Chain A
Amino acid sequence: MVVKKNMNWIERLYLPAIFQGLIITLKHFFKPKVTIKYPEQTRPISPVYRGLHVLKRDEKGAERCTACGLCAVACPAEAITMVAEERKVGEEALYREEKYAKTYKINMLRCIFCGLCEEACPKEAIYLTDRILPANLTRETFMFDKEKLLEKKDSPVDISKRTKGSKWI
């Protein structure tokens, strides 16, 4: 029940209440600020942050993925599709096993970044990283193919923070 409380003479003056309010705002004036100056500063993220995926290469630079499809099966959002292909003679430097993924696509608009693909992968090929999925204007740009997912030979993606001490990966 709403009770209508009549204000007494002091309260009707409003001045004590205004004074209280002024003290509160002055306290906030000297408080540390919560703003993060974004381009220069970024919000600190957890070492096991699940960001953009990467398809790793092995020590010799060959692709680890064998297109077994376990990640696609494990994916609860059904974001991963791939087409497998047999490795030809002479391609040993490119692909580690006899089978490889000809195309490997992740629909980033479906992906929920749960990390189950990473757990399902028997070949330690796919990992989530601390990189953040960039924003974009068109839907097509969120269909990440092998060109975007596969790590470059000369600039490997660091996943040590995420994998260190982990029981599962």
Chain B
Amino acid sequence: MASIGGLDLGFVLEKLLLVLAVFGFTLGVAMYATLAERKFAAFFQDRIGPDRAGPFGLFQPLADGLKFFFKEEFIPKQADRFLFILGPAIAMTAACMTTAVIPWGDQIQIADFDFSLLFAFGVVSIGVYGIMIGGWASNNKFSLLSTIRASSQMISYEIAMGLSLIALVLVTGSLNIKEIVMQQSQGWHILSQPLGFLIFLICSFAETNRVPFDLAECETELVGGYHTEYSSMKLGFYLFAEYINLFVASAMISSLYFGGFNLPFAHLFPHSLWIGIGVFVIKIFLVMFFFIWVRWTIPRFRYDQLMGLGWKILMPLSLLNLFGTAVVLLMKG
């Protein structure tokens, strides 16, 4: 095998192809998640949703994207130009980076390293900066208010989320996402960590800024939200990053608690690798459907209720969960 500077060329090529495939798949899913959101929203409200662009409205995301490109690019005069552009860029980059550690199969993962779980949640919390910088740079009081809400919400819920993950790490004894997934061929972690799963699920709603925790966007109180001053593709990036985050959160939930690419008896079939990927994708879509389902069921939390839930209920619960898990593990020896 040819090599340049000690690097195996075949390995580089394989990883490049994988990066392209995963990136393309992520963007494709995020694109059609916008359509799915609108369609399912309509179904939940006894309507039929967008159906004009192409069969069943399948070209609607293309039309939406095209519209974003042709919109007027407007940067407010009093805004900080550099930070204004940096905001959506950070949001988008942080959202895309997390997909690197999602394990698609036994050997199929862009970056397989020992602390991938830590990496994923580190990068996710960088995503907050995209919102913070965007809202700050707009030089608009409503954007700033929304930014304050978003950042305090994300920081509050990251604590409960981190604590529920620590309990999971206690059970698995590993920070490697792929290893956590591999362990679940015997049984899903939702069975051993039901309370931790519930806390993690609730916190992922807060982390992805979705209803019932979408306080960062509130038309009735904040005109728009942190992206009030944004237009054109920069607004598109913010909205798109949200859907990528939704995809990543669903992938994380299904790989941490629902066994990822594991399917019982799948190794008996000849193409178990492809079956594994298919199973994983189906699990991701089901979790995404759940996110959309919840969005069109529950109204938005009030700000003090949100903080009360985060600090007074979820954090003690996750501490209890952590303590209980530790005690059970100690008893087992």
Interface residues of A (CB under 8 A from B): 18, 21-22, 24-26, 28-29, 31, 33-35, 37
Interface residues of B (CB under 8 A from A): 40, 42-48, 51, 293-294, 296-298
Within 8 Å CB of A37, what residues of B? Answer: 48, 51
Within 8 Å CB of A26, what residues of B? Answer: 293
Interface of B is mostly: loop
Inter-chain contact B48/A35, CB cutoff 8 Å: yes
Given A26-B293, A29-B40, the answer on whether A21 and B298 have CB atoms closer than 8 Å is yes
Within 8 Å CB of B296, what residues of A? Answer: 25
Within 8 Å CB of A31, what residues of B? Answer: 46
Q: What is the minimal beta-carbon distance from B33 to any residue of chain A, in angstroms?
A: 17
Q: What is the minimal beta-carbon distance from B39 to any residue of chain A, in angstroms?
A: 11
Inter-chain contact B297/A33, CB cutoff 8 Å: no
Residue of B nearest to A24 (CB): B297
Inter-chain contact A28/B47, CB cutoff 8 Å: no
The 5 closest A-B pairs by CB, nearest first: A25-B297, A35-B48, A21-B297, A25-B44, A33-B48
CA distance A29 to B43 in the complex (A): 5
A-B contact pairs, 5 of them (CB 8 A): A21-B297, A25-B293, A33-B46, A34-B46, A35-B48
Within 8 Å CB of B43, what residues of A? Answer: 28-29, 33
Inter-chain contact B40/A18, CB cutoff 8 Å: no
Given A25-B293, A26-B293, A37-B51, the answer on whether A18 and B46 have CB atoms closer than 8 Å is no
Q: What is the minimal beta-carbon distance from B138 to any residue of chain A, in angstroms?
A: 34
Within 8 Å CB of B293, what residues of A? Answer: 22, 25-26, 29
Q: What is the minimal beta-carbon distance from A37 to any residue of chain B, in angstroms?
A: 7
Q: What is the minimal beta-carbon distance from B201 to any residue of chain A, in angstroms?
A: 11
Inter-chain contact A22/B297, CB cutoff 8 Å: yes
Q: What is the minimal beta-carbon distance from B260 to any residue of chain A, in angstroms?
A: 25
CA distance A97 to B77 in the complex (A): 76
Within 8 Å CB of A35, what residues of B? Answer: 46-48
CA distance A24 to B297 in the complex (A): 8
Contact of A29 among B44, B51, B294, B298 (CB under 8 A): B44
Residue of A nearest to B301 (CB): A14
CA distance A28 to B47 in the complex (A): 10
Interface centre among B47, B51, B297, B298 (most CB of A within 10 A): B297
Within 8 Å CB of B298, what residues of A? Answer: 18, 21
Q: What is the minimal beta-carbon distance from A33 to any residue of chain B, in angstroms?
A: 5
Q: What is the minimal beta-carbon distance from A8 to any residue of chain B, in angstroms?
A: 15
CA distance A25 to B296 in the complex (A): 8
Inter-chain contact A28/B44, CB cutoff 8 Å: yes
CA distance A21 to B212 in the complex (A): 13
Given contacts A22-B294, A28-B46, A31-B46, 20 further A-B contacts (CB under 8 A): A18-B294, A18-B297, A21-B297, A22-B297, A25-B44, A25-B293, A25-B296, A25-B297, A26-B293, A28-B43, A28-B44, A28-B45, A29-B40, A29-B44, A33-B43, A33-B46, A33-B47, A33-B48, A35-B46, A37-B51
Q: What is the minimal beta-carbon distance from B53 to any residue of chain A, in angstroms?
A: 14
CA distance A31 to B298 in the complex (A): 19
Within 8 Å CB of B48, what residues of A? Answer: 33, 35, 37
Residue of A nearest to B289 (CB): A29
CA distance A37 to B175 in the complex (A): 52
CA distance A29 to B40 in the complex (A): 8
CA distance A25 to B298 in the complex (A): 10
Within 8 Å CB of A25, what residues of B? Answer: 44, 293, 296-297
Within 8 Å CB of A33, what residues of B? Answer: 42-43, 46-48
CA distance A48 to B46 in the complex (A): 30
Q: What is the minimal beta-carbon distance from B306 to any residue of chain A, in angstroms?
A: 12
CA distance A18 to B293 in the complex (A): 11
Within 8 Å CB of B40, what residues of A? Answer: 29
CA distance A33 to B294 in the complex (A): 20
Within 8 Å CB of A34, what residues of B? Answer: 46-47
CA distance A21 to B40 in the complex (A): 16
Within 8 Å CB of A24, what residues of B? Answer: 297
CA distance A35 to B51 in the complex (A): 11
